[in-house]
Amino acid sequence: MTTLLRPWRALACVAAIAAALVVAFVMAPAALAGTAATSDLRGESRLIGAFRNAFVGYWSSGNADFGSELQRVVDYWFRYHVAKAVLSGALLVVLIVLGVLSWQAFLRVGGLRAAALAVSGVLATALAVVSLAAVMANIHGMAAPFGSLLPMLFGSPSVGSLPDTLAQIRQQLVDGQNSPALGPILDDYVKFHAVMAVEGTIVVILLVVVSVLLWRGFTRTDRAERRSRRVLAAYGVFIPLLALVLAVIVVANATTAAHPLPGLESFFAGGW
């Protein structure tokens, strides 16, 4: 009896850790990134308002230097992405462990237990894919925190000088101007997409390696072990498809990084 309970206890423990990390991923980053000087940035509406005001001031200065107010927001956003990246990375590892444990236990039992473990394995896989996306998003958010803030210029109704500021940026892009204030915008836009292309390439390579190992395991597994072969085959199909989707995203980001102006023009025209 004790031997039978051990896998379930391990699964319950790992699932509890995953649940705690999900809560932490949602709740903790703002607190972890915050300081006494950035307490007013906690909360989406406050952050957006502070960034928009700081951005207008930055653009009005005409200088490439962010200035103290915008730099404060950018630094906070960098720390926020660091916290998110660490938590989502930890969650990804835990979910992979949960998936492996679920499928290993699935191979040893039958009936309703097997069905429950299959659901656990599929759910862990789906959440692992989401966590992987979160890790990648926060890595390029860390690399280009200013660029990852730019979407906050759009969305809710713009007030004050922001519409005029955005109109000036659009006009400079159309006219091919390159003012000092526009330089960091273009640089971070390129960096944002370039980092995504690089990290995406690394992940695609890793997924291809995992796919090869899965199919090698499939061919070496005895035909009598049907359940094992089905699990290996399912992941052997799913992971290459995931790699293919990611490869398309890599190409799109690499193209944007190599030729950023059309994408940046579209972005400031409301094409985000």
pLDDT at position 248 is: 97
Residue at 145 is within a domain: yes
Clarify whether residues 65 and 3 are in a common domain.
yes
Provide the domain count of the chain.
Answer: 2
Clarify whether residues 142 and 216 are in a common domain.
no
Q: How far apart are CA 122 and CA 230, in angstroms?
A: 13
DSSP state of 157: P
Residue at 68 is within a domain: yes
pLDDT digits (tens, 9 = 90+) for 31-73: 999 888 888 888 888 999 999 999 999 999 988 899 899 999 9
Residue at 213 is within a domain: yes
Angle at alpha carbon of residue 63, lines to 61 and 66, rounded to 5°: 85
Higher pLDDT, 178 or 272: 178
Q: How far apart are CA 250 and CA 144, in angstroms?
A: 17
Clarify whether residues 127 and 213 are in a common domain.
no
Clarify whether residues 139 and 14 are in a common domain.
yes
Q: How distant, in Å, are the alpha carbons of 16, 20, 125, 155 from that of 25?
A: 14, 9, 18, 24
Clarify whether residues 18 and 144 are in a common domain.
yes
Residues ≥6 apart with Cβ < 8 Å to 258: none
Task: Name the residue range of residue 209's domain.
Answer: 196-272
**CB-based contact 225:176 (threshold 8 Å):** no
Residue at 181 is within a domain: no
Residue at 237 is within a domain: yes
Ranges 36-50, 109-123, 137-151, most confident: 137-151
- Lowest-pLDDT range of 91-100, 121-130, 152-161: 152-161
pLDDT at position 271 is: 56
The two tokens of residue 106 are 């699935």
Residue 3: pLDDT band (50, 70, 90) is: very low
Specify whether the backbone of 235 is left (phi greater than 0), alpha (psi in -120 to 50) or beta: alpha
Residue at 183 is within a domain: no
Clarify whether residues 144 and 200 are in a common domain.
no
Angle at alpha carbon of residue 249, lines to 256 and 151, rounded to 5°: 60
Work out the average pLDDT over 1-11. Answer: 63
Residue at 234 is within a domain: yes
